Structure 1
Amino acid sequence: MRLLKFVWWFCVTIFCGLLLSFSGAYLYLSPSLPSVDSLRSIQLQIPLRVYSSDAKLIAEFGEMRRSPIRFADIPPDFIAALLSAEDDNFAHHYGVDFSSLMRAATQLLKSGQIQTGGSTITMQVAKNYFLTSERSFSRKINEILLALQIERQLSKDEILELYVNKIYLGNRAYGIEAAAQVYYGKSIRDVSLAQMAMIAGLPKAPSRFNPLVNPERSKERRDWILGRMFKLGKIDEARYQAALQEPIDASYHVPTPELSAPYVAEMTRAEMVGRYGGDAYTEGFHVTTTVPSQLQEAANHAVRQGLISYDQRHGYRGPETRLPGMTRNTWLLELAKQKTIGGLEPAIVTQVEKSGIMVLTRSGQEEAVAWDSMKWARPFLNTNSLGPRPQQPADVSQIGDLIRVLRKEDGSLQFSQVPAAQSALVSLDPQNGAIRALVGGFSFEQSNYNRAIQAKRQPGSSFKPFIYSAALDRGYTAATLVNDAPIVFVDEYLDQVWRPKNDNNTFLGPIRLREALYKSRNLVSIRVLQAIGIDYTLNYISKFGFNRQDLPRNLSLALGTANLTPLEIAGGWSTFANGGFKIQPYLIDRVDSRSGQALFIANPASVPSDPIAATAVAAAPEQPAEASLTSVNHPDSQPAAAERILDARTAYIMTSMLQDVIKRGTGRRAMAMGRSDLAGKTGTTNESKDSWFSGYNADYMTTVWTGFDQPESLGSHEFGGTVALPIWMTYMSAALKDKPAHPPAEPEGLLTLRVDPLSGRAAPPGTPNAYFELFKSEDSPPPMSEFEPGSGVPGSPLPADDAAPIDLF
């Protein structure tokens, strides 16, 4: 009896001591414990997601892959698998399972090391949301106290929802929905029972039981969980046996963009980080851009096709490397190191035959490349020279060559190579500046340098419309005659001589301004700029949105020697396309929070619905580029009216002149599109280092640039009309497919008169070769009877001395 009493009192003493210790710990630690109420409004880290205007995923940015899921959407089988693995007494305990704690304590006493923590799911929620992973008694006590509080204030369903959305499950996957996407490429609602058991086994040790790294251990863990589910009556024997037979079929699934627009994605990311800082990556922003998927896909195709076509005209530069005498496995290892660039897959030549070559691809398959797709591959000697035409596949390739192939829609392969030249395309809605498509280079994988917004290059003759527009507002007309004749400038202080010339070294004498534009006569542009004045022209052109510091203060401005990006050129050209209004290009259309609440809705300054009525140049200050991303515009608010910077009649006459560039000038190739509403201008700089085409109708304004990153000649026979224009045509043909012609509306205050081609004056009846020309009502030409010999070049505002061939010393 004495022994029993001793044991009894000893146990009571131990119990009271533990109770007092626990109470003391609670009183000491509870004031510093975080509030459990914060769990109801906890904000999990969710990546930034960027979408096209038609809701296709473009990109995802963030360190953690997470897609929160509500408890109601969690499959019951997964809940059963998770509780069987982690906490089968979850439904009955109050946050702490003392039997599990005692088991953990016993293991500690026996081994001297912490084997398990004895944590319930509730305790893990406390640790994951409030505590660190430090293994210490103080942290464990805090964990227990927090678990008890959580159980008092939250339901079991709420606790499970918090747990499954927070846990790390390997490969940057946080939460069960993200894990299902990473390992199986589908939602947790769509995976099988065996796959659910595999995911349920990951929280214990995401690296040790990872099916991608340790498939055998992962299977052991999965089968153990399935056995627990069967033992606990969660599944019947038939389902248990069927699940055991399933193989471990997990594979790595990265979030696959539905639309390839990496340059658009990077611009959006940079804009969001600029607005929100580091929170942009974690707050779950849903960003909708202004880019429709079909237009972006058309732009991607146009740039890649155009660059490949140009590249193949200049010959084959040889394989990327030669790997002869290696085994198949070694070749596969080399292929695994290579990226697909712009749709061009790496491949190694394994056989050379008369009908073509056989190549090994990264998939491990040997596929045929037909000889017909290799005939273009004349050896590259230099930009302007090629070697002899190949007569057989052996003249092009050898076994072991690492080459590039292009997979066609039917699955066949074409012989190719990665282009050395680059290109950029920008397409805008000229009515409000929305970016509809943007490509910054051949391949983002090859180079993330965005040439559309970062490359400042000389636009060449594609800049001339701004000079001609300034002239039209200075008293010139489309019928004005300007002398296309030699001119020489000498700087007596620097002993330098500048002899500008036309690209073909010919001179046409007095020529109409309209004809000078569509024939791209350099000397006419220089004379016009000289006559209207540099300062007036710089002030005038700056209104189109160009930085004045990028515009040279000399007559070379007339030849397009300013340094401008394709996006700046497209923005400036949009004024011609929309009838005279200044717009600001923008990319982000809408930003939503993780809960779907609109944080920002774009409300850009737009062309008025009746632009012809707005004929006066606005005196109001320029509209802001874009509303702040920290506020929401009212859905019923009307967009601000864009500022008119150009007389509607000037814009209309410029469009008419630029339409002639396509109908009878340097852009004639675009006539193949069969449209009557297109206007544009080619541009080619000295030695063909830059190739441009800018063109539009009332729906889209598109600019294309092509050149080398380190400026060098594209070739002596390559121009804006041979390199950039085909890319523009391919894109615009797709963009305008099935769209009716959309020319600009004619404003009031214009006259159409018959003009004498020799004098530029109004032609009397019977004048041979007279033609019709557009004029502003106040600039209509005088009749032929008022022309006095010796007064200057007929129809020109230039004095006789300025219109004749001159030397300036």
Structure 2
Amino acid sequence: MTKTSPLVKFIIWLVLSSAAGCGMVIMAIYLYLVPNLPDTEALRDIELQTPLRVYASDGLLISEFGEKRRNPISYADTPPLFIQALLASEDDGFFEHSGIDLKGLTRAAVELVRTGKKKSGGSTITMQVAKNYYLSSEKTFTRKFTEILLALKIEQSLSKEEILELYINKIYLGKRAYGIEAAAQVYYGRSIKDLSLAQLAMIAGLPQAPSAANPINSPKRAVDRRNYVLARMRNLDKISEEEFQQALREPDVARYHGPTTEVDAPYIAEMVRQEMVDRFGDQAYTGGYSVYTTVNSKRQTAASKALQQGLINYDREHGYRRSEPEFSLVELTPENDNPLLREWFAAADSRFDIDWPSTLEEWDNYIRQQGDFGLLTPAIVADVRKDGAWTYSDNGFLWLPFSGMTWARPYLSVDSVGQDPKNALEVVSIGQKIWLQKTANGLELGQMPKAEGAIVSLNPNDGGIEALVGGFSFSANKFNRVIQAERQPGSAFKPFIYSAALANGFTPASIINDAPVVFEDASLENTWRPENHNGKFYGPTRLREALYKSQNLVSIRILKQIGTRTAIRYVEPFGFDGKKLNNDLSLALGSSAVTPMELATGYCVLANGGYAVKPYLIQRIEDDQGTRLFTARPAVVCRDCDDTDDTTEAEIMQPAEAPLIATEEPDTFALAPTAIDAFEPTPEPTKAELDDALPIIPAAQVMDPRIHYLMVSMLQDVVRRGTGKRALALNRHDLAGKTGTTNDQKDAWFSGFSPDLVTTTWIGFDQPQTLGRWAFGSNTALPIWVDYMKTALEGVAEHPFEQPPGIVSVRIDPETGELARPGQRNAIFEYFRQEDVPTEVSPSEKNNAPGDYSTNEVIPEQLF
């Protein structure tokens, strides 16, 4: 029997002691860490941070907000080929191991002992799930041991498919994309289910270095990683040789795709964002809420284009503001001191002596920094000739012909422009920043308008916002003029004064003297001498005629007769703040500042039969599971409703967890009657079902139907024969509205409607200044309205305004407003409330011929 040498015994003892010591350390770590491990069952109900998404009423995406772009996808909906690519890249033994890879961990430990550096972590996908959902990214042994123990626990609680689903939805893949579906959208603009094999391999290879080696930041590294994943798939026989070779040859087309917005409505998106933050705080950005608005995507798109084109047209009419060149072409320089090379450069034509890579790099940086400006695209002039210019934009080099610049007469002042340009050299210069616009006539020179505008379109039957654009470009200026800009509406406010007059004894045939007046009022700083926009006076005028001709002095006189306080009390229920309305006669001319939204709200009453509605934007809010949290309950025009609903605003805004259908006994719910032998409790109704079952809230009627009909008929005459004639281009008979222009043409308005849609447009400068001598509501704001309504009412049948009982039509003398004489040839028909029909017959000859009030010889009437 041989004796074991003392050295061998020592070595054996040392190994056993070390193993025992390691075992005790591991046991101690295990006993220390296990009690603190989280419950992995909670992973089944984990809530991933997903962004806030805003949709139009038809489900098209308007915008999304949140630091993390995420689109959760189920394991069942994930392409099997992607699963194979992911496992080949990250963990090919995933379906065999129990959560940890002993071989990989051992290899990592040996590398750490041998080199002193951590080269590989030996992490499995399960371990990465444990780290991503529960642990930090700190590199400590305690964190690693906890990760291993958690992985083992997760494997006991969840199936392999559930673990993979958690992983593919949580993992960061660069460019704010979390999860594979978000990454597919960010890099390729498509769903993961629509990607090719090469693209799937690209996404599968991103987890290793998502920021440094994604196909946008580092295309070459990303393609190398993609090819490695493909090679691994081939070695594991997951793809054929033919598939492998074809995928290797496929060029990568990845580029950054921002949020895939389908509707251009940034001002709407910002309104929703502010409302959601008010309701949910910072959780609004991470809770995965989906907000469905009242916005009609077709009308919203039309509104954006109409407003932009209208502002561009106005700006062009006032001339081109040429800017100085800001960029220079980078010229080539000799790389050494060769005299012959220097001599060649000196003699070379400078037009062809350009370092284009360096030049375009600078230009690209500028273009990338520009936002979205809708119809206009930023560009830089690269070369100019007489017949046009080469320009550089995000679409590369584009030829801008001189025919697209002929409009560019130099701007001299708001009322004058210079001569027509003779060639392109007179318009643009090399290195100049310009704007381009694609039109039906080809590429044209554009210009960023200095004037601003707004357009808002409401459903008059419930106040739903159908379209809203708060300015030319949200990228250039986030000020929302629809709800923030308070401007004088001018004559666009007159319909409300006329409505008050009709409710206080006036008729459309009432005769008012359109003659000069002067005011000496203590509330006014100076003597006020109002006049009509053309400086003329028309003498005795019927109320109807005065409205469609927009005669200021008639408006002042009728307001004087009914009283400003009476008028304010009358129009307040239309949606105006009475405290903001001027309590003096200037109210008749629209001197009280209102927002376009407030004016449109008032016009809803004129469009819907006399009912007050409030604008609203959010139809419903859903959580990330599709559960409805909020449903709007606006007051709705209901002509057949007799009973009113006393539901309070607090009840309308109740949270989803509020008690539902409670019976007399607390904490119980009503049960539907069932057969005794098959008695089963009825499932508790969802909030969505309860919301849908609630009765409507009838809108309050604030205008007599007969007054409403008279007012609408007068506003229809504004379109048929007055300042709103341009609206006749729509070839409809159910349109009405009113233009508005303020003093010195600082604001131009048109508010018009059909029974189905109310739209208000406004144009002006943010810092009030004149739009020009010839700028009026009729030729500046109205064309935008017409352009928009052409699309907005497409396919909408004409809907005549119904004549209510108590309205009669009689023949009158147009000069006196009294009943026409038998056989009178110039008699016209006029509408009256039955009790307001004239009783006197017009005399056969007028006692007084209408005077000429157009001269300054007439002594103004003093009104105090």
In the other structure, the counterpart of 2:598 is 568
Residue 224 of structure 1: CA displacement?
2.8
Residue 7 of structure 1: CA displacement?
5.4
Give the 5 Å matches for 1:429-578. Answer: 429-491=459-521, 496-578=526-608
Q: Which amino acid counterpart does residue 277 of structure 2 have in structure 1? A: V
Distance 1:590 1:765, change over 3 A: same
Q: 1:52 aligns with which of 47, 53, 56?
A: 56
In the other structure, the counterpart of 1:656 is 713
CA–CA separation in structure 2 for the residues paired with 1:314 and 1:586? 37
Tell me which moved more, 460-469 or 754-763: 754-763
Matched, 1:290 2:297: no
In the other structure, the counterpart of 2:669 is none
Distance 1:634 1:525, change over 3 A: same
CA–CA separation in structure 1 for the residues paired with 2:426 and 2:381? 13
CA–CA separation in structure 2 for the residues paired with 1:240 and 1:677? 65
Tell me which moved more, 646-655 or 444-453: 444-453
**What is the CA deviation profile of residues 571-613 of structure 1, one whole-angstrom value per residue up to 9, with x for unaligned ones?**
11000000000111111222222222222333321111548xx
Secondary structure of the structure 2 residue equivalent to 1:562 = coil
TM-score (norm 1): 0.92
Q: 1:95 aligns with which of 96, 99, 108?
A: 99
Distance 1:440 1:687, change over 3 A: same
Q: 2:274 aligns with which of 266, 270, 275?
A: 270
CA–CA separation in structure 1 for the residues paired with 2:405 and 2:225? 53
In the other structure, the counterpart of 2:344 is none
Distance 1:225 1:390, change over 3 A: closer
In the other structure, the counterpart of 1:798 is none
In the other structure, the counterpart of 1:696 is 753
In the other structure, the counterpart of 1:628 is 653
Distance 1:335 1:207, change over 3 A: closer
Matched, 1:806 2:861: yes
Distance 1:668 1:239, change over 3 A: closer
In the other structure, the counterpart of 1:751 is 808
Residue 368 of structure 1: CA displacement?
3.5
Matched, 1:345 2:345: no
* Counterpart contact for 1:477–1:775, Cα < 8 Å: yes
In the other structure, the counterpart of 1:740 is 797
Tell me which moved more, 745-754 or 393-402: 393-402
In the other structure, the counterpart of 2:137 is 133
CA–CA separation in structure 1 for the residues paired with 2:238 and 2:655? 49
**What is the CA deviation profile of residues 684-741 of structure 1, one whole-angstrom value per residue up to 9, with x for unaligned ones?**
0010000000001111111000111111111111100010000011111222224332
* Counterpart contact for 1:510–1:793, Cα < 8 Å: no
Tell me which moved more, 317-326 or 770-779: 317-326
**What is the CA deviation profile of residues 395-425 of structure 1, one whole-angstrom value per residue up to 9, with x for unaligned ones?**
3233433222211358x31122111111111
In the other structure, the counterpart of 2:783 is 726
Tell me which moved more, 460-469 or 316-325: 316-325
Distance 1:166 1:494, change over 3 A: closer
In the other structure, the counterpart of 2:263 is 259
CA–CA separation in structure 1 for the residues paired with 2:842 and 2:395? 81
**What is the CA deviation profile of residues 498-538 of structure 1, one whole-angstrom value per residue up to 9, with x for unaligned ones?**
11111112112221111111111111111111211122211
Tell me which moved more, 243-252 or 167-176: 243-252
Secondary structure of the structure 2 residue equivalent to 1:71 = coil
* Counterpart contact for 2:816–2:842, Cα < 8 Å: no
In the other structure, the counterpart of 2:66 is 62
TM-score (norm 2): 0.87
* Counterpart contact for 1:422–1:708, Cα < 8 Å: yes
In the other structure, the counterpart of 1:400 is 431
Q: Which amino acid counterpart does residue 342 of structure 1 have in structure 2? A: G
CA–CA separation in structure 1 for the residues paired with 2:594 and 2:559? 19
Q: Which amino acid counterpart does residue 564 of structure 2 have in structure 1? A: I
CA–CA separation in structure 1 for the residues paired with 2:451 and 2:232? 62
Distance 1:117 1:361, change over 3 A: closer
Residue 473 of structure 1: CA displacement?
0.9
**What is the CA deviation profile of residues 204-223 of structure 1, one whole-angstrom value per residue up to 9, with x for unaligned ones?**
22233222222332233333
In the other structure, the counterpart of 1:177 is 181
Matched, 1:367 2:396: no
Distance 1:774 1:174, change over 3 A: same
Matched, 1:594 2:594: no
CA-based RMSD: 2.7
CA–CA separation in structure 1 for the residues paired with 2:628 and 2:376? 40
* Counterpart contact for 2:754–2:799, Cα < 8 Å: yes
Q: Which amino acid counterpart does residue 686 of structure 1 have in structure 2? A: N
Tell me which moved more, 433-442 or 216-225: 216-225
Residue 768 of structure 1: CA displacement?
5.2
Q: 1:761 aligns with which of 809, 815, 818?
A: 818
Matched, 1:319 2:336: no
Matched, 1:188 2:192: yes
Residue 249 of structure 1: CA displacement?
3.5
Secondary structure of the structure 2 residue equivalent to 1:691 = strand
Residue 294 of structure 1: CA displacement?
1.5
Distance 1:403 1:503, change over 3 A: same
Tell me which moved more, 618-627 or 721-730: 618-627
* Counterpart contact for 2:636–2:698, Cα < 8 Å: yes
Secondary structure of the structure 1 residue equivalent to 2:43 = helix
Residue 793 of structure 1: CA displacement?
14
* Counterpart contact for 2:546–2:554, Cα < 8 Å: yes
Any stretches of 5+ residues in structure 2 without a counterpart?
331-353, 657-686, 851-858
Residue 623 of structure 1: CA displacement?
7.7
Percent of paired sites with the same residue: 51
Q: Which amino acid counterpart does residue 770 of structure 1 have in structure 2? A: A
Secondary structure of the structure 2 residue equivalent to 1:368 = strand
Residue 152 of structure 1: CA displacement?
0.8
Tell me which moved more, 19-28 or 162-171: 19-28
Tell me which moved more, 222-231 or 647-656: 222-231
Q: Which amino acid counterpart does residue 361 of structure 1 have in structure 2? A: S
* Counterpart contact for 2:821–2:842, Cα < 8 Å: no
**What is the CA deviation profile of residues 242-294 of structure 1, one whole-angstrom value per residue up to 9, with x for unaligned ones?**
33333443222223312212112222222222222222211222222212221
Residue 786 of structure 1: CA displacement?
11
Distance 1:759 1:368, change over 3 A: closer
Residue 491 of structure 1: CA displacement?
4.1
CA–CA separation in structure 2 for the residues paired with 1:377 and 1:767? 56
Matched, 1:113 2:117: yes
Tell me which moved more, 746-755 or 699-708: 746-755
CA–CA separation in structure 2 for the residues paired with 1:102 and 1:443? 59
Q: Which amino acid counterpart does residue 92 of structure 1 have in structure 2? A: E
Distance 1:565 1:105, change over 3 A: same
Tell me which moved more, 335-344 or 462-471: 335-344
Any stretches of 5+ residues in structure 1 without a counterpart?
795-803
Residue 452 of structure 1: CA displacement?
1.2
In the other structure, the counterpart of 1:800 is none
Matched, 1:640 2:644: no
**What is the CA deviation profile of residues 172-202 of structure 1, one whole-angstrom value per residue up to 9, with x for unaligned ones?**
1111111122222222222233322222222
Tell me which moved more, 62-71 or 764-773: 764-773
Secondary structure of the structure 2 residue equivalent to 1:725 = helix
* Counterpart contact for 1:490–1:496, Cα < 8 Å: yes
Residue 354 of structure 1: CA displacement?
4.2
Q: 1:387 aligns with which of 407, 414, 418?
A: 418
**What is the CA deviation profile of residues 44-103 of structure 1, one whole-angstrom value per residue up to 9, with x for unaligned ones?**
011112222222221111111111111112222222222222222222222222222222
* Counterpart contact for 1:690–1:706, Cα < 8 Å: yes
CA–CA separation in structure 2 for the residues paired with 1:699 and 1:499? 40
Residue 624 of structure 1: CA displacement?
4.8
Secondary structure of the structure 1 residue equivalent to 2:798 = coil
Q: Which amino acid counterpart does residue 833 of structure 2 have in structure 1? A: K
Distance 1:96 1:619, change over 3 A: closer
CA–CA separation in structure 1 for the residues paired with 2:384 and 2:593? 48
Q: Which amino acid counterpart does residue 154 of structure 1 have in structure 2? A: L
